[in-house]
Chains A and B, each alone.
Chain A
Amino acid sequence: MTARAALPPLALYVHVPWCVRKCPYCDFNSHGVGHGAVLPEAEYVEALIEDLDQDLALIEPRALRSIFIGGGTPSLLSPDAYVRLLEACEARLGFEPGIEITLEANPGTVERTRFEGYRQAGINRLSLGIQSFDDALLAELGRIHSGDDAERAVEAARAAGFYNFNLDLMHGLPGQSVEGALADIERALSLSPEHLSWYQLTLEPNTEFFSHPPRLPEEETLFDIQDEGHARLEAAGLERYEISAYARAGGVDRRARHNLNYWRFGDYLGIGAGAHGKLSRRDADGELTVTRRWKSRQPESYLKRRCDPRGFVAGQRQIERDEIGLEFLMNALRLVEGVPLELWQARTGLSNARLAAQTARARSMTLLAEDPGRIKASPRGLLFLNDLLALCESARVPLE
Chain B
Amino acid sequence: MANDPTRPTLSHIRNFSIIAHIDHGKSTLADRIIQLCGGLSDRELKEQVLDSMDIERERGITIKAQSVTLDYKAEDGRVYQLNFIDTPGHVDFSYEVSRSLYACEGALLVVDAAQGVEAQSVANCYTAIEQGLEVLPVLNKMDLPQADPDAVSHQIEEIIGLDATDACRVSAKSGLGMEGLLERLVRDIPPPKGDVDAPLQALIIDSWFDNYLGVVSLIRLFDGTLEKGDKVLMKSTGRNWEASAVGIFTPKRTETGVLRAGEVGFLVAGIKDIHGAPVGDTITHAKTPQVPRLPGFQKVKPQVYAGMFPISADDYEDFRDALEKLALNDASLDYVPENSDALGFGFRVGFLGTLHMEIVQERLEREYNLDLLTTAPTVVYELAMDSGETLYISNPSKLPDMASVSEMREPIARASILVPQEYVGNVITECVNRRGVQLDLQVLGNQMQLTYELPMSEVVMDFFDRLKSISKGYASLDYSFERFEAAKLVRLDVLINGDRVDALAVIIHRDHAQTRGRVLVEKMKELIPRQMFDVAIQAAIGGHVIARSTVKALRKNVTAKCYGGDVSRKKKLLEKQKEGKKRMKQVGRVEIPQDAFLAVLKTSD
Could you list which residues of chain A lie within 8 angstroms of chain B, going by C-beta atoms? 13, 28, 70, 168, 197-200, 202, 223, 226-227, 243-244, 259, 262, 268, 270, 275-278, 292, 294, 326-327, 330-331, 365, 380, 382-387, 389-390, 393-394, 396
- State the 4 A-B residue pairs at the shortest beta-carbon distance, nearest first: A244-B560, A385-B558, A383-B556, A223-B555
Residues on A with C-beta less than 8 A from B566 are: 276, 294
The reply to whether B561 and A270 contact each other, CB–CB distance below 8 Å, is no
Q: Judging by beta carbons under 8 Å apart, are A199 and B565 in contact?
A: no
A276 lies within 8 A of B559 (CB): no
Instruction: Bits for B525-564, please: 1 = Cβ < 8 Å to A, else 0.
Output: 0000000100000000000000000000011111111101
Known: A223-B556, A243-B560. A389 touches B565 (CB 8 A): no
B564 CB contacts on chain A under 8 angstroms:
13, 28, 70, 262, 276
Write 30 A-B pairs (CB below 8 A) sorted by A numbering: A70-B564, A168-B562, A199-B562, A200-B560, A223-B555, A223-B556, A226-B556, A227-B555, A244-B562, A262-B564, A262-B565, A292-B567, A294-B566, A327-B567, A330-B571, A331-B567, A331-B570, A383-B555, A383-B556, A383-B558, A384-B556, A385-B557, A385-B558, A385-B559, A386-B557, A386-B558, A386-B559, A387-B557, A390-B577, A390-B578
C-alpha spacing A277/B314, complex, angstroms: 37
**B574 at the binding interface (Cβ < 8 Å):** yes
Q: Is the CB of A276 within 8 A of B565?
A: yes
B584 to chain A, nearest CB (A): 11
Q: Is the CB of A243 within 8 A of B558?
A: yes
Of B559, B574, B589, the residue contacting A200 (CB under 8 A) is B559
Chain B residues engaging chain A, CB cutoff 8 angstroms:
314, 532, 554-562, 564-568, 570-571, 573-574, 577-578, 581, 589
The answer, among A278, A331, A393, for a CB contact under 8 Å with B578, is A393
Inter-chain contact A330/B557, CB cutoff 8 Å: no
Closest chain B CB from A280 CB (angstroms): 14
Tell me which residues across on chain A come within 8 A of B565, comparing CB atoms: 13, 262, 268, 270, 275-278
Q: For A396, what are the chain B residues with a Cβ–Cβ distance below 8 Å?
A: 314
The distance in angstroms between the C-alpha atoms of A331 and B573, with both chains bound, is 13
Check if B562 sits within 8 Å of A384, measured CB to CB.
no
In addition to A243-B559, A326-B574, A390-B577, 8 A-B residue pairs with Cβ atoms within 8 Å of each other are A13-B564, A244-B562, A276-B566, A327-B571, A330-B567, A383-B558, A385-B557, A385-B558
Closest A residue to B573 by beta carbon equals: A386
Residues of B within 8 A of A390 (CB): 574, 577-578, 581
Instruction: Closest B residue to A197 by CB, please name it.
Output: B562
Separation in Å of the A40 CB from the closest CB of chain B?
A: 24
Q: Which residues of A contact B560 (CB under 8 A)?
A: 198-200, 226, 243-244
A202 to B562, CA, bound (A): 11
C-alpha spacing A240/B573, complex, angstroms: 22
Q: Nearest chain-A residue to B530 (Cβ)?
A: A219
Please report the C-alpha to C-alpha distance between residue A268 and residue B557 in the assembled complex, in whole angstroms: 29
- Contact partner, B561, options A199, A223, A268, A327, Cβ 8 Å: A199
Quick check: A387 and B561 within 8 Å, CB to CB?
no
CB closest residue in chain B, given A27: B569
| Known interface pairs A262-B565, A330-B567, A390-B578; A383-B559 also in contact (CB < 8 Å) | no
Q: Is the CB of B561 within 8 A of A202?
A: yes
Residue in B555, B558, B566 whose Cβ sees the most chain A Cβ within 10 Å? B558
Instruction: Contact check, B574 vs A384: say whether CB atoms are below 8 A apart.
Output: no
Q: Which of A13, A292, A330 contacts B574 (CB 8 A)?
A: A330
Q: B527 to chain A: closest CB distance in Å?
A: 17
Contacts of B567 in A (CB 8 A): 276, 278, 292, 327, 330-331
Chain A neighbourhood of B554, CB < 8 A:
384
Query: Are A387 and B532 closer than 8 Å at their CB atoms?
Result: yes
A227 to B557, CA, bound (A): 13
- Bound-state CA distance A244–B562 (Å) is 8
> Which residues of chain B are within 8 angstroms of A226 by Cβ–Cβ distance?
556, 560
Alpha-carbon distance A168/B573, docked complex (angstroms): 21
Cβ contacts under 8 Å, A262 to chain B: 564-565
**Distance between B570 CB and nearest chain A CB, rounded to angstroms:** 5
Q: B570 contacts A384, CB within 8 Å?
A: no
Q: What is the distance, in angstroms, from A175's C-beta to the closest C-beta of chain B?
A: 19
A124, B560: Cα distance in complex, Å: 26
Q: Which single residue of chain A is at the shortest CB-CB distance from B552?
A: A220
Shortest distance in angstroms between B532's beta carbon and chain A's nearest beta carbon?
5
Please indicate the chain B residues that have their CB under 8 angstroms from the CB of A394 in the complex.
578
CA–CA, A313 and B559, complex, Å: 30
- Let me know if B561 and A384 touch, CB within 8 A: no
The CA of A270 and the CA of B567, in the complex, are separated in Å by 12
Question: Which residues of B lie under 8 Å from residue A380 when comparing CB positions?
Answer: 532
* Docked complex Cα distance between A197 and B563 (Å): 12
Q: Across the interface, do A389 and B562 meet the contact criterion of CB distance under 8 Å?
A: no
Q: Cα distance A277–B566 when bound, in Å?
A: 8
User: Does A384 lie within 8 Å of B557, measured CB to CB?
Assistant: yes
- Inter-chain CA distance A244–B558, complex, in Å, is 10
Instruction: Give chain B nearest CB distance to A232 CB in angstroms.
Output: 15
With a cutoff of 8 Å between Cβ atoms, the chain A residues found around residue B581 in the complex are: 390
B15 smallest CB distance to A (angstroms): 55
**Chain B nearest CB, measured from A28 CB (Å):** 8
Q: Which residue of A lies closest to B558 (CB)?
A: A385
Chain B residues positioned under 8 Å from A227 (CB to CB):
555
**Residues of the B chain whose Cβ atoms lie less than 8 Å from the Cβ of A385:** 557-559
Q: A223-B555, A327-B567, A330-B571 are in contact. Are A386 and B577 (CB under 8 A)?
A: yes
A275 and B564 CA atoms in complex are apart in Å by 10
Residue of A nearest to B532 (CB): A384
Chain B CB within 10 A, most for which of A28, A200, A202, A384: A384
| Chain A neighbourhood of B578, CB < 8 A | 390, 393-394
Query: In the assembled complex, how far is the CB of residue B114 from the closest CB belonging to chain A, in whole angstroms?
Result: 38
Name B570's closest neighbour in chain A (CB-CB): A330
The distance in angstroms between the C-alpha atoms of A35 and B144, with both chains bound, is 57
C-alpha spacing A243/B567, complex, angstroms = 16
Bound-complex Cα distance A198 to B581 (A): 29
A198–B558 CA distance with the chains assembled, in angstroms: 13
Task: Give the Cβ gap from B270 to chain A, nearest Cβ, in Å.
Answer: 42
Give chain B residues whose Cβ lies under 8 Å from the Cβ of A327. Answer: 567, 571
Closest to A292 in B: B567
Specify the chain B residue showing the minimal Cβ separation from A377.
B558
- Among B561, B574, B589, point to the contact of A389 (Cβ < 8 A): B574
Residue of A nearest to B563 (CB): A262
What residues on B are CB-neighbors of A259 within 8 Å?
Answer: 562
Cross-chain contact A383 with B557 (CB below 8 angstroms)? yes
Q: Collect the chain B residues with CB atoms within 8 Å of residue A383's CB.
A: 555-558
Within 8 Å CB of A331, what residues of B?
567, 570
- A202 and B555 form a contact (CB under 8 A): no
When distances are taken between beta carbons in the complex, the residues of chain A under 8 Å from B561 are 199-200, 202, 244
Chain B residues, CB < 8 A from A330: 567, 570-571, 574
A202 to B314, CA, bound (A): 35
What are the residues of chain B within 8 A of A268 when measuring CB–CB?
A: 565
| Chain B contacts for A243, CB-based, 8 A | 558-560
CA distance A294 to B565 in the complex (A): 10
Residue among A198, A276, A396 with the highest chain B CB neighbour number at 10 A: A276
- Most chain B beta-carbon neighbours within 10 Å: one of A202, A277, A387: A387
A396 to B565, CA, bound (A): 27
Residue of A nearest to B566 (CB): A276
A residues less than 8 Å from B570 (CB atoms) = 330-331
Q: For residue B554, give the distance in angstroms from its CB to the closest CB of chain A.
A: 8
Query: B residues within 8 A CB of A200?
Result: 559-561
Question: Cα distance A389–B558 when bound, in Å?
Answer: 10
For B532, the chain A residues whose CB sits under 8 A away are 365, 380, 384, 387
Write the chain A residue with the least CB distance to B565: A276
Chain A residues with Cβ below 8 Å from B589 are 365
A198 to B, closest residue via Cβ: B560
Q: Kindly state the separation between the CA atoms of A327 and B559 in the bound complex, as whole angstroms.
A: 16
Q: Smallest CB–CB gap between A188 and chain B, Å?
A: 15
CA distance A28 to B569 in the complex (A): 10
Residues of A within 8 A of B558 (CB): 243, 382-386
How far is A268 from B314 in the complex, measured between Cα atoms in Å? 39
A387 CA to B570 CA, complexed, in Å: 14
CB distance from B435 to the nearest CB of A (A): 41
